[in-house]
Amino acid sequence: MGKNRFFQRRRFLQGAAGLLLGGTLPSALAPVAAKAGNLTGEPLTTLIDVDACDGCGACVRACRDRNLEGVPLPVRQPPQPYPSWIRIQDWSGKRDVTDRLTPYNWLYLQSCTVQTEAGARKVFLPRRCMHCTNPPCANLCSTGAARQRASGAVYIDRGSCMGDGQCDRACPWMIPRRQSGVGPYLSFAPRYAGNGQMFKCDYCQDLLAEGKPPVCIAACPRQAQRIGPRKDMVRAARVMAEERKGDIFGLNENGGTNTLYVSSLAFRDMEAELLREDQIGYGRPSLRPAGASMDKENRLLGTVLLAPLAGAALAWLRIWREKQKRRRP
């Protein structure tokens, strides 16, 4: 009974939403690169030089200055969704948290200490949405709120997000974060029509449209981040990795992303240290290689297509068993 009501809730959510909606790059050159990407029709890709990042936090502060006040606060105690095992997620009292991704913090510095031949080395990685080239969050969003622009920006439309969290479950790095008690679901049946809204980095999509770089890139004093047309950034990342005998993260992960990290250290070593230092989980994304894009969707689609067959098989088995019982003396 509980499961049936849960799936009825999901169907109601989808229907209600449908009715409602019917090297380094000097900062001075970043706008030129952004415009070039738009003119060529290519998505814009960020290249992050892990070796150059010193963890100053300027990117985090710039992101918060731009986005923090725009994330709404619950107007009242968030209603408990149905079924009761669905958790309320309220970060409104923890808006100052910056050591992980939250609805109020879209970028944070992940760090660990890696042992090298030259000794221990502290590394810093600005972590946010990877902006996948084929984003599963947008492909699986039940209300169509998660979307992708031609610029490569993957964003969540606040006018249609009901906070069901499908984007979080679809994301290999579980980037989107939920804030319960906010959003359009409150105008429907709050217990049944959603659970807040999902929030994440939107790539400063409005700035990209103006030919300007995201604020995190513009704020970096060490120019550890650059942005430009994808093919140019991929080429630059490969050159950097070859020169340093290093590694690239984000090029092939999840079928490819528009966020590339380059380091002279192997990302698998960073992943191992992050795990050892308990720096992965719930708002702290991993560095493990993700499968091909849409793997989760394909598995989900397979489940959906096989469900009727499985149901028919079970029904036939039940009928067969009943007949066998009747035949027994």
- CATH number for the domain that contains residue 230: 3.30.70.20
Please tell me the predicted confidence (pLDDT) of residue 175: 98
Is residue 91 situated within a structural domain? yes
Is residue 308 situated within a structural domain? no
Is residue 191 situated within a structural domain? yes
CB 52 within 8 A of CB 25: no
Number of domains comprising the chain: 1
Contacts for 147 with CB less than 8 Å, ≥ 6 apart = 138, 141, 154, 155, 156, 157
Is residue 273 situated within a structural domain? yes
Is residue 249 situated within a structural domain? yes
pLDDT tens profile 284-321: 999 988 765 555 445 554 544 444 454 455 455 555 55
Write down the mean pLDDT value for the chain.
85
Contacts for 238 with CB less than 8 Å, ≥ 6 apart = 248
- The answer, yes or no, to whether residue 19 has pLDDT greater than 50, is no
> What's the average model confidence in pLDDT over 147-173?
96
Is residue 232 situated within a structural domain? yes
Is residue 321 situated within a structural domain? no
What pTM value is reported for the model?
A: 0.80
Closest CA relative to residue 258, chosen from 226, 222, 296, 212:
226
Q: What is the largest CA-CA distance in the chain?
A: 90
3-state secondary structure of 141: coil
pLDDT band at residue 156, thresholds of 50, 70 and 90? very high
Residue 193 sits in which domain range? Answer: 2-289
CB atoms closer than 10 angstroms to residue 96: 10
Is residue 298 situated within a structural domain? no
Q: Which of 66-70, 185-189, 193-197, 318-322 has the lowest mean pLDDT?
A: 318-322
